[in-house]
Chain A
Amino acid sequence: MKIKNIKDLGRAKNAGMKSLFPKIPQIRISMSTCGLSLGADRLFQKIIQETEKKGIKISLHPIGCSGCCNLEPLAMVRLPGKPALLYTQMTLEKAERIIRDIQKKKITKKGLFCIIGGDLVSGKPDPELNDIPDYKDIYPFKGQQRILLGNCGIIDPLSVTEYVAMEGYTALHKALYQMRPQEVIKEVVESGLRGRGGAWFPTGFKWDMARKSSGDEKFVICNADEGDPGAYKDRTIMEGNPFKLFEGVVLAGYAIGSHQGIIYLREEYHHTFEFLNSAIEIAKGYGLLGKNILGSGFNFSLNIVRGGGSYVCGEETALMDSLEGEVGDPRLRPPFPIEKGLWERPTIVNNVETLSNVPLIILNGGKWYTNIGTEKAKGTKILSVVGKVKRPGLYEVPLGTNLKHVIFEMAGGPFNGKSIRAVQVGSPFGTFIPSDKLDITLDPETLREIGSMIGSGVIVVLDQDSCIVDILHHLLTFFVEESCGKCIPCREGVSRMEELMEEIYNGRAGMKDLDILNELGETARDFSLCALGGGAPAPILNGIKDFRKDFESHIKTGKCFGVS
């Protein structure tokens, strides 16, 4: 069924609504990589078995992960006319119980986490459920502004019609039929959208330059390498709402005058690779990719290339070298990719989260977007809170949200009565912020002042049992493994830093070695060819200042401060 015009889009919307609100009981199981790793496939099979055995007709769909992975495996259940209900930490027994209750037209109260509210998903309120919280009133969902993650965990990620029912592809239709490319760029510029992969570069400005670059062939590259350990927001979007990403990519292509898009996908995301390929075939079938998109005459093809397992290939110039069949060596700039990128053609490289913002910006206007966030930092940011917290997971919040609030309220703070030691914000290159300095807002200016950054939004929480020296050494081993080795400051400097840190950790170094560590760090920071070598020293150098006692303790005793 190709969607060729507004009427077709309307028909698709109706079909999607019917699918989202069937007249029979509905069960949805979260089947992203995280759900699968916790047994969701077995759960899915069990439900098919039990309902067949009992002769119950249900609508069974997979859904993506909502980002609250520690609640997985998840099940969303809706009886006709009732609100949608979320069940967490599902087991085969729980599934059996729910099916038994469905047969009795009863709502299972045991294991019920919350009601999934919201205009499009809730049914009529039910007095029986008065004691069950709405998801907006309970953590981890409370306080989030899920403009990007909203459909993740609700819609069947491979259903175009369900996405259309949730306003999907309305933006693309509007752009292709009612806007000129320059107008699309104007909205993105007005929105203040900036790169969400770590560079924080103004997206509209980049697109405008690429549009103005001369050349018949231009490329849109979606950077889905997601190399920062701790980050998985891009995987969640790709496995929960892939068509939103595709819509963003096509909008980017339309804006700059490109007809070819490539998603460069992280090698380690095996399931995501198969999944996205299926999604692309489905989108093609609906006329949403390929020739004559939405009947507009605009052509755009999209394909996926898997990386080879190299963090440095998340850097845009190394990524392009990798796509050209070379090793991922960062290139000298200038020339910049917008002039001479992939195959020397004008190219834009944007992160998954960045592109996923675009459909909403086009749908609601750039001005609408500026109402979210702060004066200088617009929109939301998907934070990935990991480590020693009660509720690790993804939290989509407006920029400018307080870090302490995110960690202690939303993510539940430390568990087992421990206290927090330090928090690394943004990316592996972020400084570890000591526990008494967490009362700050998450926006680029504030974070830059303390040597941190928004980055990809990773927030790593350490508690009193974590050894800072060990963690910093662990970080350095990551940088050493992932360095491309091209330039001397990074290859030689960061390697020597790692060696020294190991000596410090094991009590085989002297206090003078801290000075040498500083010198090495400053050299790598100031003279490396790319941001890997340039950024690697920051958490170490700041760590030496902020956690000097721990360094001294390890140098003198080989153990943490306070440990006998």
Chain B
Amino acid sequence: MTIQMTLNNKEIEVPKGLTILEVSRKQGIDIPTLCYHEALGPHGVCRLCIVEVGGVLRQGIRISCIQNVVDGLVVNTESERVKKNRQFLFELLLARSPDSKELIDLAAKHGVYESRFYEGDTDDNCVRCGLCVRVCRDKIGAFALCFAHRGYERMVTTDFESLSGYCIGCGTCAQICPTGAIRMKDEGEERIIYTKNGVVARFELEKCDVCGIPYAPKKYLNFIKKKSDDTMAVSVVRNLCPGCARRMGAINLVGSMTL
């Protein structure tokens, strides 16, 4: 089932059941987002993905990540109104996250280079998009992160704002963070996951059985083992770093040991 709509003055036919954001991105139109991720779905809190709609819907601004496309919809992702409001939102964001290269670049792409609200103090660069909390809770299932406090003080942290006993050291939070507020660092035989407010967790890295490089926390490996069944990859039965695991896999495929 398809519908007809107009996107930035171009008439297109798209499948039913998609959001304006999904359709736009598929068409190669860049609508900025912070709290949206394909794997987690929309969250609707950053409000950056605003677009102007019209046609069959009442003229106005909508949140594109949660607005489904309908037949006869007219969408403008770069109207004056959208640009002005989006720029203001970026100004608000930059005031809280002045050192985030990712946010600075994203804002610059949309014409915002500084914030009238910046008071000179460095905040934690977290925009409270919720991606790290959601991925840790809903996808990984480690439940290491949460939102604490309320309002302006709302922050991403661990239980009791202390070193987390739940974190498995997978680093997905650091990967998914759009502003670099939460980071992962492997240094020597240690991995730390940290924010400007403190360390989320610290791990000793297990060494690869074959090449000896430290590569993953034991907790993470145990977590994978528990989640996998008996036909799991050989890299988890033995401690193999990704490189050696690939080689081992290739060898098994070919059927000879040529190390």
Contacts and interface: CB of A to CB of B under 8 A. Distances in A.
A and B touch in the complex (CB under 8 A): yes
Given A523-B89, A527-B85, A491 B66 contact: no
A487 B149 CA distance: 14
Contacts of A526: 61, 85
A492 interface: yes
Contacts of A489: 47, 89, 92
Nearest to B116: A516
Nearest to A498: B152
Contact of B153 (A482, A485, A493, A523): A485
A527 B50 contact: yes
B150 interface: yes
A522 to B, nearest CB: 8
A484 interface: yes
Interface string A489-508: 10111011000000000000
Contacts of B149: 485
A488 B154 contact: no
Contact of A480 (B42, B128, B151): B151
Nearest to A334: B66
A137 interface: no
B57 interface: no
B46 interface: yes
A391 B93 CA distance: 47
A523 to B, nearest CB: 5
A519 interface: yes
Given A480-B152, A526-B61, A486 B117 contact: no
Contacts of A482: 150-151
Contacts of A488: 45-48, 89, 92-93, 127-128
A332 to B, nearest CB: 5
A445 interface: no
B181 interface: no
A485 B47 contact: no
B31 to A, nearest CB: 15
Nearest to A490: B151
Nearest to B92: A492
A431 interface: no
Contacts of B5: none
Contacts, number: 78
Nearest to B93: A488
A327 B116 contact: no
Give the contact-size bracket for chain A. Answer: 20 to 34
Contacts of A332: 42, 44, 66
A310 interface: yes
Give the contact-size bracket for chain B. Answer: 20 to 34
Interface string A509-533: 0000000100100010011010000
A481 B147 CA distance: 16
Contacts of A236: none
A529 B151 contact: no
A495 B95 CA distance: 12
Contacts of A523: 85, 88-89, 92
A481 B127 contact: no
B151 A484 contact: yes
B191 interface: no
A488 B63 CA distance: 13
B96 interface: yes
Contacts of B89: 488-489, 523, 527
Nearest to A483: B151
A495 B152 contact: yes
Nearest to A312: B150
Tell me what chain A mostly uses at the interface: helix, strand, loop, or mixed.
helix
Contacts of B147: 327, 485
Interface in B123-156: 127-128, 130, 147, 149-154
Contact of B150 (A483, A492, A493, A527): A483
Contact of A496 (B44, B48, B92): B92
Nearest to A479: B151
Contacts of A484: 150-151, 154
Interface string B146-183: 01011111100000000000000000000000000000
Contact of A485 (B42, B93, B152): B152
Which among A481, A482, A488 has the greatest number of chain B C-beta atoms within 10 A? A488
A495 B151 contact: yes
A491 B85 contact: no
A210 B46 CA distance: 31
A7 B147 CA distance: 57
Given A492-B95, A523-B88, A526-B61, A485 B66 contact: no
A310 B85 contact: no
A186 B45 CA distance: 39
Contacts of B63: 527
Given A496-B92, A526-B61, A485 B85 contact: no
A533 to B, nearest CB: 10
A483 B46 CA distance: 15
Contacts of A487: 44-47
B129 to A, nearest CB: 9
Interface in A298-322: 310
Which among B63, B117, B152 has the greatest number of chain A C-beta atoms within 10 A? B152
Interface in B43-92: 44-48, 50, 61, 63, 66, 85, 88-89, 92
Contact of B151 (A481, A496, A516, A519): A481
Given A332-B66, A480-B151, A492-B95, A486 B45 contact: yes
Nearest to A486: B45
A493 B46 CA distance: 12
Given A485-B154, A491-B128, A493-B92, A527 B61 contact: yes
A226 B192 CA distance: 46
A516 B96 CA distance: 17
Contacts of B50: 527
Interface in B194-220: none
Nearest to A512: B116
Given A485-B150, A491-B152, 4 more contacts: A485-B154, A488-B128, A489-B92, A496-B92
Pairs of residues from A and B, 5 with the lowest C-beta to C-beta distance, nearest first: A485-B154, A492-B92, A483-B151, A485-B151, A495-B152
22 contacts: A332-B42, A484-B150, A485-B147, A485-B151, A485-B152, A485-B154, A487-B44, A487-B45, A487-B46, A487-B47, A488-B45, A488-B47, A488-B48, A488-B89, A488-B92, A488-B93, A489-B47, A491-B128, A492-B93, A492-B117, A519-B88, A527-B63
